[in-house]
Each structure stands twice: as C-alpha cells, then as structure tokens.
Amino acid sequence: MTDSDPRTQTTAAAESASGVASGRSIFLDAVTKRYPGQKRPAVDGVTLEIPEGQVVMLVGPSGCGKTTTLKMINRLIEPTEGRIVLGGEDVTTINGDELRRRIGYVIQAGGLFPHMTVAQNVALVPKMLGWDKARIAERVEELLELVGLDPDVYRSRFPKELSGGQQQRVGVARALAADPPVLLMDEPFGAVDPITRQRLQDELIRIQQEVRKTMVIVTHDFDEAVKLGDWIVVFREGAQIVQYDTPERILAEPADEFVENFIGSGAALKQLGLRRVREVEAADAVVAHAGGNAAEALRRAEQAGHNHAVVVDERGRPISWPSRRELSRMTRLPTELDPALPVVGSGATLNDALDTMLVSSAGATLVTGRGGVFEGVVDVETIMDAITMARQSAAERSSEAPVGTNTGAVDVVIDDEGAAVTSPQGSARDD
Amino acid sequence: MDFGEFLSSRSSEILFAAAQHFSLVAQSVVLATVIAVAIAALVHRSSLGRAAANSVSAVGLTIPSFALIGLMVAPFGFGVKPAVIVVVFFAALPILRNAIVGLAGVDPALVESARGLGMSRLGIFFRVELPLAWPVILSGVRVSAQMVMGVAAVAAYVLGPGLGGFIFQGLSRLGGAGAIESVVTGTVGVILLALILDLLLLGLGRLTTSKGIR
C-alpha cells in the first residue's frame, strides 16, 4: 500500500491552474472511425476533453470502441473524421511518427522488444530524438529507479529474464523516456496476476504523483478504473459515451442501467476503495509502553472510559491491544508483538481497514502513520459515517467536469495562448 | 596413379577451384539473402503476397538445376554469368520461404508497440522485424548454402568456376586414368566446402543473434 492519494493531489494540481502538471490536455473533436465495408462506425463522433495532468480511464465492454478511441489519440488508427488537439495544437495532420514520439504508449505486457536489453528498450525514443549517449544513460538510470527497478541489476537484462510485472514496469519506463506530456495505456495490467496487478496499480499511482502526466488508460476492469482514475468514461458499443464523471459520482449516481450493470454489485462497497484511512477522523486511545505497569494502564483506560489500551514499543509502534479484562489479569504489559493485531497504514483504503476489522473480528483497527507509529483507532461506525458523507458530497456535480459527448455539438476555440477552450452545448450528461 | 599422387600433382589446381567454388557460393548466397529478404519485406504483410511467394519458392525448387543452367546458355552464353544467376536463383528460394515465415512470426503487438513509440516503417523493419526474424532467416540461409554447393558444381557444365570441373572431366572419360580420382576429388571437395561454410554460418548466427532471443 502506498502512502499516496492521487485524488487530493490532482485536485491540488487543478487548483493551482496549469503550473504543476507536466501533462497536456487532449481534445478529441467529433472524432469518428469508419472501417470500409462496415455499416456502423466503430467510433461515432466522440467529443472528449481530457484535462491536463489527470488520469482518465476508458471503460466499457469488449468491442465497444474504447481501444480504437485510445489509438486515435496518437493516430495509430487514423480517424476518418474529426480533429485531435493536443495541448492546444491541432495534431490531426502532422507526421504520425513525430506525434507518437511525443506521446508515451504502453500496451499489455509492456510490448518490450525481446532482442534488446532493458536499457536499449528504454533508450529507444531518446535515441530517435537524437539525444547524446551520456544523457540517454543518465535518463535510463533515472527511469529504472522511478519504476522501482535497480538499474545495476536490470539494465543489461533481456525481457525474457524479467517477470511479467517487471516487464510491465520497463514498458512504463520506456513510455516515459522522452518525458512526453501524455501517456496512453492499453489494458496495461491485463496480463499479470491479481497480486502483481495491485502492486503495479499502487506503483502507477505513486509514479503519477511524481510525474503528473496526462494519462488515458483503457481497461475492462471497473475496479481498476475506480482505483486509478480521476475521471472515468463509460462507453457502450460504437464508442457511445454513457457517462463521463469522477469515480465517486459514477458509483453514487450511475447515469443509467447500463452503467449500473457495468459497475456490478456492491457500488457502495467499491466506494470504500476510494477513500483513505487518513481522510477519516481516527479516535484517540489510551497508550501505554511495552513492559510498563498493567494496573496503571487499566486505571487510565477506566478513567478515559475506554475498553482497550494500546501498547506501543519504544519507537511508538503498536504491538498489542489488550482489553480491560485482559489488563486486569496481567501485571506487566506485553513486550512481544501480537501477530493478530489489527493494524492498517494511514494510506490504506477504507476497504482495507474494514477487511482488517473483519479478519480480526475486533470491530475496529489501529491506524499507523509514517514509520509505523501509532496514530489512532478507526471503528466500523467511523467508516459508515464516511461513506454516507461521501455519497452525499458525490451527489453534487463539479462544475469543472470535462466534456464528453457523441453529439459533437461543442464549440472549440483555440485562444491566443494556445489552450483549447470548450463550451459545452447540450452535453449528454445534463442533470 | 593412386589418389595421393593425383592430389599432389594437381594440388594447386584443386585449391584454386575450391576457392573459386567457395567464393561463387558465398557471394551468391549473400546476394540471394538480400534479394529474398527484400522480397519478403515487401510481400509479408499481405496474405496474397505470402501465398504467392511460398508457391514460387516451392515450385522453383522442383526445377532441375541442370536443366535451368542449360537454358541459361542461350541468353547469357558460357562462363560465370549463367552460373551466378542459377546459383542465386536456387539460393534465394529457401531463404525467401524462411524470411516470410520469420517475418510473419513477429508478434503484431511488438510492431504496434514500435509504431506507438514513433518508429518509422523502415525503422520498424530494420530494428524490430528483421532482428526478430533473423534466426529463422539464417536457418534458411544455411539450408540454401548447403543446397547450392551442389548446384554450383553443376555450373561447370557452362564452364562456370569451381570444383564441378573435376566432376565433369572425370565423368566424361570414365574408365581412363585418374577419372575416378577426379570425380571423387570434386565431390569430396564440395562436401568439405559445404561443412566449412555451414560452420561459418553457425558462427555468424551466434554473433548476429541477440542473446535475448536465443
């Protein structure tokens, strides 16, 4: 579990205007893809605004056109109609190869070239851009560290000598090599096992906090979309946009039955995955030191009206959580770590916290902060309250929500500073 | 005249012919590789092109080399020219077939990944497709090198260079002194050259195939 929260971060980035995010906005203007011999277009007049420095997830059933939409952003698939605007620049007709060098692209399993070493794979785009050797070597080092691979160990390995998760990391490093403002990912974590997938997702959240790119990620896994996305676009066949909103909003207010079905059961439970333990208020507890006097701890717990006391070691890390009854039976407080102690980090999601409580059957869990130091106690009621509040606040829609429709009825003016200004007319999502 | 005498009395002639033979085959194989890979590069993306190229290489291999080399005399006369043309023709066929198999075997996801990085068509071919297909192409080159060693011997019929001369001379005066020795020298020489070339190609494969795909 990482100590990151992309949501508060990106909100902060949005608030400080454009200065912080290194990403660029993307604007698809009534983009259509028709294949010869097919009656219905694969993608039908999609108008989609992707704010800079944010993570936008494209989800939908297979064959709905989400991958086609993604590939039209870097023109791997050339749109039949419409315009693509990248950071205010119309890139619909510029050289496709040059455009793609400015946009990172990651596919399932990384798409590494098996005949090249990790370093050679990562160095590809900088080489094409004509960087000198020293700069490339330095950049490779920096990127491998960013994705959590020791450069000295992995630099000269070949892809076949890496695990699936490591290959995926190198794929991300390669896509970031020339520091592109935009990163596109096509089902990036589809080919790895669930545990590795979760680790890679956490890693991506951390990396995004550092690099602040504009990311567009295709997935068919709604839970992944909720976890990674600042915004989620739900597509149905023909790349019809059903809903384009924050994960909170989509969970709380699905636009129609299609979205509801797509979310699957347990929308409220999924919201638990959106909030972090540190966002809820942890209750105080009676804290005593390991090896201390048990009677004294019992007296303090009684005074405070608490049923339990938290025993911490010399560095403030919780090791045991005895009840008053247990305290009354001991003379010295325990010094050994209780293996069944329910503990979560403050960066954990409420989902993890609830899971910990259920496993330990304690109805509450201890929360630790930096260095594993005890911070407080969170119980089931706290989590219930947090969810109720979240649902209420999600009901109010942000006025800054980006545009996403299939009507194409949006005026786009490229202003003097080169930023695309959009004014939605008859958005598909008027409420 | 025993065999040792035959060898020692004509050693310089034998060595010269062997060198000529080797150089004819080696150069023809290089030329054939370039031609076959170029054709494969052009056609491997279309299924029609692949099918056509495969039929050409299958049918081409059934043409008797002796007949083809005889036919070449009319337009090109005697000497090196018809010999080279026939050897290159036969050498190109297995390489073409393997090049198509090898290039078609490159994972399309990797090609897309390369396009996604902004590589040009040419860049993708030389830096991704060709290196990945190379082991398969090279095994085609080895097959073809073995095969055309024999074809090159037939080239002596049109007075081309090489060890084939010994075979034809021996066969034409079978029963005469040293005839058998001459045929054996030519044949064994061709086999030895084939082995040497195969070893060289094996070494070349080691040097030119990435450790990542071995």
Q: What is the pLDDT of residues A211-232, one digit of tens each?
A: 899 999 999 888 899 889 999 9
Least confident of A10-19, A34-43, B12-21, B183-192: A10-19
Place of tokens 């990945």: B132
Mean pLDDT of chain A: 84
User: What does the alpha-carbon distance between residue A422 and residue A183 come to, in Å, rounded to a whole number?
Assistant: 22
Q: For domain A6-274+402-424, which CATH number applies: 3.40.50.300, 3.30.1330.40, 1.10.3720.10, 3.30.450.20?
A: 3.40.50.300
Closest residue, chain B, to A112 (C-alpha): B110
Subunit contact B210:A115, Cβ cutoff 8 A? yes
User: What does the alpha-carbon distance between residue A295 and residue A306 come to, in Å, rounded to a whole number?
Assistant: 14
Subunit contact B113:A111, Cβ cutoff 8 A? yes
Q: Are A293 and A271 in contact (CB under 8 A)?
A: no
Domain extent, residue B79, equals 3-213
How many angstroms separate the Cα of B104 from the Cα of each of A12, A150, B42?
A: 49, 35, 12
- Chain B positions touching A121 (Cβ under 8 A) are none
Subunit contact B116:A100, Cβ cutoff 8 A? yes
Name which of A76, A101, A115 is nearest B132 (Cβ-Cβ). A115
Sketch the domain layout of chain A as residue ranges: 6-274+402-424, 278-389
pLDDT at A428 over 70: no
Beta pairing, strands A318-320 & A309-312: antiparallel
pLDDT at B9 over 60: yes
Subunit contact A101:B118, Cβ cutoff 8 A? yes
**Residue B214 sits at the chain A interface (C-beta within 8 Å):** no
Over residues B88-147, the pLDDT tens digits come to 999 999 999 999 999 999 999 999 999 999 999 999 999 999 999 999 999 999 999 999
Subunit contact A107:B109, Cβ cutoff 8 A? yes
Closest residue, chain B, to A184 (C-alpha): B116
Percentage of chain A modeled with pLDDT above 70? 88
Task: Work out how many domains chain B is built from and give that number.
Answer: 1
Extended beta strands in A22-71, E state: 26-33, 43-50, 55-59
pLDDT at A430 over 60: no
Fold of A278-389: CBS-domain (3.10.580)
pLDDT at A169 over 90: yes
- Chain B positions touching A113 (Cβ under 8 A) are 110, 113-114, 128, 132
Place of tokens 């050994």: A336
Name which of A112, A113, A128 is nearest B118 (Cβ-Cβ). A128
CATH (domain of B75): 1.10.3720.10
Name which of B114, B119, B212 is nearest A114 (Cβ-Cβ). B212
Bridge partner list, A320: A311
ipTM of the complex: 0.85
